[in-house]
Chains A and B, each alone.
Chain A
Amino acid sequence: MQFYGTDIASRLLLGTAQYPSPAILAEAIHACGTQIVTVSLRRETAQGSGAGFWDMLRDTGARVLPNTAGCHSAQEAITTAHMAREIFGTNWIKLEVIGHSDTLQPDVFALVDAARELTNEGFAVFPYTTDDLVVGERLLDAGCEVLMPWGAPIGSGQGLRTPDALRAMRAHFPDTPLIVDAGIGRPSDAAQAMELGMDAVLLNTAVARAGDPAAMARGMALAIEAGRLGHTADPMERRDMAVPSTPILGLAELG
């Protein structure tokens, strides 16, 4: 699997927020084998708290995917992306432009505008979007080579609200890496996303807020691998009625 020409083996992208401690975050990263972790930018304190976090993260060896979380306009997101590129030394950006404060639904119009400008400026844009096919087309027209449709609202843990729409997205964009971003709550949700043919899953809260984040991170990684195998193995069709799996031929008459 490649994102913008970079080979990535792990199909789990992990967020770094809300963990009980930095040590537990590091444990979770190692437990699931993720190669990509998301990060953000926030106001620096006089104590320089940001540098310590960045040092810890670099030690994990994971590639960082900075986000524009909390931005509500294209201009805010673009400025944040430039700041992130300078600090983290990567042109990768998880582009979020939030349309509603309560649902954290993406503003897809501003998203497309920001994606176009950032692509023109040399960024590799990972857009947090909906499962709308036309928006997906516009994002690809704007230069995106990856799409990240939501599974459910950020942090809700509801699982996939619209699996049929994601299936349609897979069929419509057969050659574009699709990453389900947001809404995953349990390993079964992640497995379902992979069975639908998604290329990867990005999650954060489901691991960070679990009672044992490292164990949940490992569970998610296994579920993603299982779901991926299930997809590539071409699952059987559902049947309306029972069909015996044990042969009828040679059945004894014992009654």
Chain B
Amino acid sequence: MNILVNAEPRDITSVTLAEALTELGFHSPAIATAINGQFVARDARPTTPLAEGDRLEVLAPMQGG
């Protein structure tokens, strides 16, 4: 299925968010996720399904003012 990962089109086989993060190579524990602008908590990733066209954002700590 085709989804957008941090605005980049990706073709994945995973059906849940947790599986997709592993498939996409996001192994850091210091990440947070949102699908279509809605926050998805870490505990909910294994039970959160992905759908064609979903916009997945994977964010990490960064310098800020």
Q: Which residues of A contact B (CB under 8 A)?
A: 15-19, 25, 38-46, 48-51, 53-54, 57, 66-67, 69, 75-76, 79-80, 82-84, 86-88, 154-155, 204-205
Contacts and interface: CB of A to CB of B under 8 A. Distances in A.
B30 A84 contact: no
Contacts, number: 109
B57 A43 contact: yes
A50 B39 CA distance: 19
Contacts of A15: 63-65
A44 B59 contact: yes
Interface stretch (B11-19, B20-28, B46-54): B20-28
Which A-B residue pairs are the 3 nearest by beta carbons?
Answer: A50-B60, A40-B64, A15-B65
- Among A50, A57, A204, A205, the one with the most B-chain Cβ atoms within 10 Å of its Cβ is A50
23 contacts: A15-B64, A15-B65, A17-B63, A18-B63, A18-B65, A39-B62, A41-B59, A43-B7, A43-B57, A44-B6, A50-B28, A50-B31, A50-B62, A76-B37, A79-B34, A79-B39, A80-B59, A82-B39, A83-B34, A86-B32, A86-B39, A87-B60, A88-B61
A209 B63 CA distance: 14
A104 to B, nearest CB: 10
B64 A44 contact: no
A154 B65 contact: yes
A86 B33 CA distance: 10
A17 B65 CA distance: 6
B61 A53 contact: yes
Contacts of A83: 32-34, 39, 59
Contacts of A54: 30, 60-61
B33 to A, nearest CB: 8
A75 B64 contact: no
A225 to B, nearest CB: 22
